[in-house]
Amino acid sequence: MFTLQQWTPHLQPLSTPQPSFHRQSNHYPPLRPILPAFHTHFQRNRRILIAKSRRSPKSNTTDLKTQIDEGIVDIGPDEYEVEDEFSPRGRFGKGGEEEKDYDRDPEFAEILGSCLDDPQKAQSKMEDRLRRKRTKILHTKTGSATPMKVQFNKFDFSNSYIWFEFYNAPLDKDVSLICDTIRSWHIVGRLGGCNSMNMQLSQSPFDKRPSYDAIQGANVTPTTFYNIGDLEIQDNLARIWVDIGTSEPLMLDILINALTHISSDYVGIKQVVFGGSEFENWKENLKSEDAGYTVHKI
């Protein structure tokens, strides 16, 4: 059994040194690094409270933004946040889609590096780069107001080339349009639709009710489009081999009319030449796709 004596001192809590606070902030160096963060947190909470207390039911976003700009109301991102171009979720922030780094292009850097030493070589490399990547370059492409020229150079209906010269190298959509036009022209001609010997409706008078004689149409000598090759393209030049078979001028008129409309509204065609085994700037030995040569099935 223990007996407490009077001389035993009372237990007292350990005393910890209390910091002496001062009104001047420069007396507390250890707290200075956290002051900006604490200040920002405090300001945001204060803005939310002020915004909630001052916002009326009739106020809209525009009026609230005006008050913020004038310094009347301050609100934080929880209530109203204006994202500028350099904010984390802005146009240049990392929160959006990842931007492509167009500056890191070894090929383009090599071209720029050789501009001063050999300008002609740099120009040649740039032209080659544009030729290979022309389908990825987006630019406005419209027709030409200048009428398309049509020439004939010893054209043989059974064995001849049709040459096309465009103002610019055609894009994929332009090539697709030209191929579809030639393909349609070949199908209609192969089925006998371009027969000038049976044009009963176009030759009948307009002041009378049109009539069609089926027996006369069936007894007309048929015309057919025998064969056609693939469309070959070199830069702004193109050619296609045809074997129309019969000498049918209507067949050529239909193609010329279609190409005239394409040239004026879609892709500018400088000229179309019927016939001839050679054409200016056309290289027979050029068969590389990297050099601008492509073949399209009709």
Q: By residue range, what is the domain housing residue 225?
A: 149-196+220-278+288-296
- Helix (H/G/I), strand (E/B), else coil: 240: strand
**Is the residue at 234 inside a domain?**
yes
Overall pTM surpassing 0.85 (yes/no): no
CB 249 within 8 A of CB 196: yes
Do 153 and 292 belong together in one domain? yes
CB distance 246 to 223 below 8 Å: yes
SS3 string, 105-138, reads: CHHHHHHHHCCCCCHHHHHHHHHHHHHHCHHHCC
Query: In terms of domains, do 166 and 188 share one?
Result: yes
Domain identity same for 132 and 241: no
Looking at the fold, whether 187 and 237 belong to one and the same domain comes out as: yes
Partners of 150 in the β-ladder? 272
Question: What local confidence, expressed as pLDDT, does residue 15 receive?
Answer: 53
For residue 12, tell me if it sits in a domain.
no
* Joined tokens for residue 220: 């007309």
Q: Are residues 77 and 114 in the same domain?
A: no
* Confidence at residue 264, expressed as pLDDT on a 0 to 100 scale: 93
Do 65 and 126 lie in one domain? The reply is no
- What is the rounded CA–CA span in Å between residue 58 and residue 69? 19
Say if residue 71 is in the same domain as residue 163. Answer: no
CA angle 262, 266, 272 (to 5 degrees): 40
Domain count, the chain: 3
Residue 273 maps to which CATH number? Answer: 3.30.70
Looking at the structure, tell me whether residues 50 and 160 fall in a common domain: no
Per-residue pLDDT of the chain in tens (298 residues, 90 and over written 9): 555 555 545 555 555 555 555 555 455 455 454 445 544 554 555 555 444 545 544 445 455 555 555 555 555 544 444 445 445 455 444 444 445 554 567 777 777 777 778 888 888 888 888 777 766 665 554 689 899 999 999 999 999 999 999 999 999 999 999 999 999 999 999 999 999 999 999 888 878 888 999 999 999 988 889 999 999 999 999 999 999 988 899 999 999 999 999 999 999 999 999 999 889 889 998 888 888 899 999 9
One domain for residues 59 and 87: yes
Is the domain of 55 the same as that of 166? no
Our CA angle for 193, 196, 197, nearest 5°, is 105
Q: In this structure, are 156 and 49 located in the same domain? A: no
Residue 113 inside a domain? The answer is yes
In whole angstroms, what is the distance from residue 130 CA to residue 126 CA?
6
Is 20 contained in some domain?
no
- 132 vs 104: CA distance, rounded Å: 19
The answer to whether the CB of 279 falls within 8 A of the CB of 160 is no
